[in-house]
């Protein structure tokens, strides 16, 4: 549903210009999923330049909620 509803949204595309989006296939790249402790999909994860997880959320979000959740993660990170 993220691929069909959320990622194509103009607001999400604009927001994604602030980050480097990367999609991982947990089945094909199990080592990556294990490294980051991914338990379920979809997991939206934010990493800093050193690969440290700075925030995440689990599950489908429609475009507005996806942007809102993402902004919360980035705001929390920037306020530290």
- Domain assignments of the chain as residue spans, ordered by start: 2-78
**Residue 7 pLDDT > 90:** yes
pLDDT at 80 > cutoff 80:
no
At the fourth CATH level, the homologous superfamily of domain 2-78 is Glutaredoxin (3.40.30.10)
Pick from 52, 49, 45: which is nearest to 73 by CA?
Answer: 45
For the segment 62-74, the average pLDDT, to the nearest whole number, is 97
pTM, 2 dp: 0.89
How does the average pLDDT of the chain come out, rounded?
94
What are the pLDDT digits (tens) for 34-52?
999 998 999 999 999 999 9
Identify the pLDDT of residue 64.
98
Residue 13: the pLDDT is 96
Closest to 20 (Cα-Cα) out of 55, 57, 56, 45: 45
């Amino acid at each position: 549903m993220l691929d069909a509803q959320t990622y194509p949204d103009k607001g999400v595309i604009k927001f994604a210009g602030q980050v480097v989006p990367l999609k991982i296939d947990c089945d094909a790249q199990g080592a990556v999923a294990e490294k980051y402790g991914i338990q379920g999909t979809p997991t939206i994860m934010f990493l800093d330049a050193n690969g440290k997880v700075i925030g995440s959320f689990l599950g489908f979000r429609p475009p507005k909620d996806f942007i809102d959740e993402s902004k919360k993660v980035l705001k929390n990170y920037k306020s530290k």
